[in-house]
Amino acid sequence: MWCRNVEDNGDLGQQIIQLLDRQYYVRQIAEQLGFSLRTIRRRMSQLAISVKGRYSRIPDRELEQIINTLITENNNIGYRQIVVRLRTMGHIVRRQTVLRIIRYLFGARNQQMRIVRREYRVRAPLSVTHIHIDGNHKLSKKWRFVIHGGIDGYSRLIYFMRVSNNNREKTVLDAFITGVQEYGLPSRIRTDCGKENTGIGHYMLRSRGLNRGSLMTGSSVHNQRIERLWRDVRSGCASVFEREFTELEHERNLDASNEHDLYCLHTVVVLILLLGRCLRLVGGHITEDWA
């Protein structure tokens, strides 16, 4: 959790490096940590933290081949997800460079009209309207893969994300606790009214107390932050597996109504690992597990 009262240069330097790793601009780092832009630049100079020195020296031809492969595999991904995937490969590349190569290879790609959303304000990480929690069931209706996730309303940090084969209360609570263990307990959470969120609700009320808004519930379609995350999960990951599973069915190698086929599908470790890896690529920082 980023905080304002950082006195130690080493701690501040580590936080700056972590945010640079997540592709934050220096101006955004100053806003995130609560310091002036001048102070952040001075500390970076004192600690010899260079932005330009962090970028990979990869030839354009090699970068073009990698980007071409990524987009060929999944035409739904955008330049931000490509930047994240390049980073997981060990290549830190400017966003402008990625955009330039995409335009060179594919021309102006058709993009859906951007949705104008209401202005959203949160005072601090893990705060006020806090952690948005929901489940994604796009792969569960036929193949019983359920994705549970939570995202911080302030920094958009992926608080937790887990792929499971059920939608039980304990499964969702266990996934939430992994976020608590890694990032700390949020001030408030927002969920829909599904019974699978009951365990999280009781946990928050016991930990944070009653009559303070520790748990907020409402329609999932109004849970803006997590719904936006699901769009990225679907375009960059879930749609790929949906296409693969559908192809298996068309080839008559998979029958979703057959319990034995579903059992085999769920026990193919390679698919599980690939799905978890894909989810990490979508968020840049996503924890996957199998329950």
Q: What would the pLDDT profile of 209-266 be if each residue is shown by its tens digit?
A: 888 888 888 876 667 788 888 888 888 778 888 888 888 899 998 898 898 988 888 8
> pTM of the predicted model, to two decimals?
0.64
Q: For the chain, how many helices (H) and strands (E)? A: 13, 5
- The pLDDT of 96-102, averaged and rounded, is 89
Distance CA 242, CA 47 (A): 47
Distance CA 219, CA 245 (A): 30
Residue 175 pLDDT > 80: yes
In which band, very low, low, confident or very high, does the pLDDT at 90 lie, cut at 50, 70 and 90?
A: confident
**pLDDT averaged over the chain?**
80
pLDDT at position 285 is: 44
Residue type, 167: N
Distance CA 273, CA 279 (A): 10
The dihedral formed by the CA atoms of 122, 151, 127 and 215, expressed in degrees to the nearest 10: 110
Exposure of 182 by Cβ count < 10 A (0-12 exposed, 13-18 middle, 19+ buried)?
A: exposed
Q: How crowded is residue 159: how many other Cβ atoms within 10 Å of its Cβ?
A: 31
Distance CA 31, CA 13 (A): 15
